[in-house]
Chain A
Amino acid sequence: MPVTVGSNPRGMDALAALLAERFAGELTDVRVQEPDTVVVRCAPEKLKDAAARLKADPEVGYETLNWIAGVDQRTGIEAVYHVYSWKTNTWLQIHVDLSREQPEVDTVSDVWPAADWHEREAWDMVGIRFLGHPDLRRILLRDDFVGHPLRKDYVDLAENHPHV
């Protein structure tokens, strides 16, 4: 079936209510960010199930992963997943709180293939370890780089730049 860009006649608030009801076990703190994004929170251990169900949902169907960002919130590390629904032409932003000492979360690259590189980037920059990722190497920085530069406590050491 050809892919088309749909629309969301029921409105953002109704869509948020639908998500809150249908994914009551996984998604919390559902709110609408105008004009077309629903922002939710999700516990790291439930992320993978939620991702698979969100993708397979017949009415909404968040089929495409747009990007993943790692954010150092000082008290913890946050992973932000941005996914797109073709059927309703809306975006969903999933915030996942991780601990600072051991930021680990299951990979979603087997649910959304696009997650592969975005997870590598989040590992490279913020140091989130995606469990079960097929090839979790650094992507933008050198293979032998030490540390994760977008952490707020990152200190740039001279030893880290042997080629300069």
Chain B
Amino acid sequence: MYDHFETPEPDEAVKLALRRIEESTARGEGSDVAGLEFNEVVVNMGPQHPSTHGVLRLVVTLDGELVKDVIPVIGYLHRCKEKIAERRTYFQYIPILDRTEYVAGINCEWAYVLAVEKLAGIRPTRRAEFIRVITAELMRIASHLVAVGTFTADLSPLGTAMVFYMFRDREDVLDLMEELTGARMMFNYFRFGGVRYDLPDGWVEKCRDFVRTFPAKIREYEALVDDNAIFLQRTQGKGVITQQDVVDYGITGPNARASGIPLDLRRTRPYSVYPELDFDVCVEHHGDVFDRYRVRIREMRESLKIIEQCLDMLPRGPVQVGSLRAPYVITPPPGSCYVGQENPRGEFGTYIESDGSRYPYRLKYRDPCFCNLQLFPKLLSGNKIADAVAISGSIDLVLGGIDR
């Protein structure tokens, strides 16, 4: 019979943590608080833990309250997406992309559709390009709301107010998306050469309403936390990502921009109609938790600017090349290509190899959170355990993308 009080055998990650403690003790770097036989404690944080925003598991070695070592363990949400691609046609695979990074599904769809279009030589219609930009920027706002909201909720009771406001306002974005695509989060909206539906009647006006009312809400968020002494103390100077870290570990997105690097694929490797649009790349210079929060807040404003311009410039015309039936079966010529795209969290890209059949021969994701998470051991070591929670919140991980 199963013994409920049996101590389970430690797995590989815990064994590694214990081994590292032994090694550091042998080197004489162990903790030396007088009177204690052992000081380092291995704490298992997650996979079911509210502050990990998913099923991230961290095996943390603590010395008192200080974090000495972190071993991230991932894969609890692995859904074999790269394997599934072997048995799905290019067209059948689109909905799976929404489930990768479910907070900003439409941006992931875009990365995949861009890669297939490049491989097959399809050019989307101009109206579809603008609709794509509008939806992607709407989802960027929704995603940043989730990121900042849950992050502030980790910090203090004050943040719990923030998370409610932000989820309330995110619902406005999701309502717009639901009216357009039929789903709140699992859109299945992009098609090769265009999008699935044209904008419904009255949608443009609703979207303009949103663009008009949302800046006041951003000011409200800023008033709530920007000058708050507790918030500043817990965020400024904590968890600094240096520019060298960005270069070494391939950090992208708001996390890189908070360290003063103007890396934004919408500008540095322009795709779609972004070259025609006027917006700033938001850069901050300290690379700490506070700057990562600031970059996300400022990017929401830039996204609103982009949406407004797109609504003004929105051309008439079809939203799909050819007949609606045409792109259902496509057979790109043999070859491979990689296309990266600026997701709310960084560079999300797909590498596709085609052997000329209806199925992708090999599909590989480049996920921004996977690369950002790799910095964790370096970033968290030396901080207090409470700050470790704040720092991991500010990196903004989505486990659906990491585990694929």
Interface residues, chain A, with chain B CB atoms under 8 Å away: 2-5, 33, 36-37, 63-67, 69, 71-72, 80, 82, 84, 86, 89, 91, 93, 112-114, 116-117, 125, 135, 137-143, 149-150
Contact = CB atoms under 8 A, between A and B. Distances in A.
Contacts of A138: 75
A114 B364 contact: no
B75 A89 contact: no
Contacts of B11: 143
Contacts of A4: 261-262
Interface in B64-90: 74-75, 78, 80, 82-83
Contacts of A3: 243, 246-247, 260-261
B248 A67 contact: no
A24 B290 CA distance: 47
> Chain B binding site: helix, strand, loop or mixed by DSSP?
mixed
28 contacts: A3-B260, A3-B261, A4-B262, A5-B262, A33-B337, A37-B338, A64-B248, A65-B250, A66-B250, A66-B366, A67-B250, A67-B351, A69-B351, A69-B362, A71-B353, A71-B362, A86-B247, A89-B268, A91-B338, A112-B248, A114-B248, A114-B371, A125-B82, A138-B75, A139-B74, A140-B74, A140-B403, A150-B362
Nearest to B362: A71
Interface in B240-293: 243, 246-250, 260-263, 268-269
B83 A113 contact: no
Contacts of A71: 353, 361-362
The interface centre, meaning the residue of A36, A65, A93, A117 with most chain B CB atoms within 10 A of its CB, is A117
Interface string B124-140: 00000000000000000
Contacts of B80: 149
A141 B75 contact: yes
Given A5-B268, A149-B83, A84 B262 contact: no
B338 A116 contact: no
Nearest to B11: A143
Given A2-B243, A5-B268, A93-B338, A140 B366 contact: no
Interface string B303-323: 000000000000000000000
Interface string B74-110: 1100101011000000000000000000000000000
B330 to A, nearest CB: 20
Nearest to B364: A69
A135 B78 CA distance: 21
A150 B82 contact: yes
Contacts, number: 83
Given A3-B246, A142-B75, 20 more contacts: A2-B260, A3-B260, A4-B261, A36-B269, A64-B247, A67-B351, A67-B366, A71-B353, A71-B362, A82-B366, A114-B249, A114-B374, A117-B370, A140-B75, A140-B404, A141-B75, A143-B11, A149-B80, A150-B83, A150-B362
A4 to B, nearest CB: 7
A37 B337 CA distance: 9
B119 to A, nearest CB: 11
The interface centre, meaning the residue of B75, B83, B370 with most chain A CB atoms within 10 A of its CB, is B75
Contacts of A67: 250, 349, 351, 364, 366, 371
Contacts of B338: 37, 82, 91, 93
Nearest to A7: B268
Given A69-B351, A116-B374, A63 B247 contact: yes
A153 B248 CA distance: 35
The interface centre, meaning the residue of B12, B247, B262, B268 with most chain A CB atoms within 10 A of its CB, is B247
A80 B351 contact: yes
B78 A141 contact: yes
A76 B249 CA distance: 29
Interface in B345-404: 347, 349, 351, 353, 361-362, 364, 366, 370-371, 374, 403-404
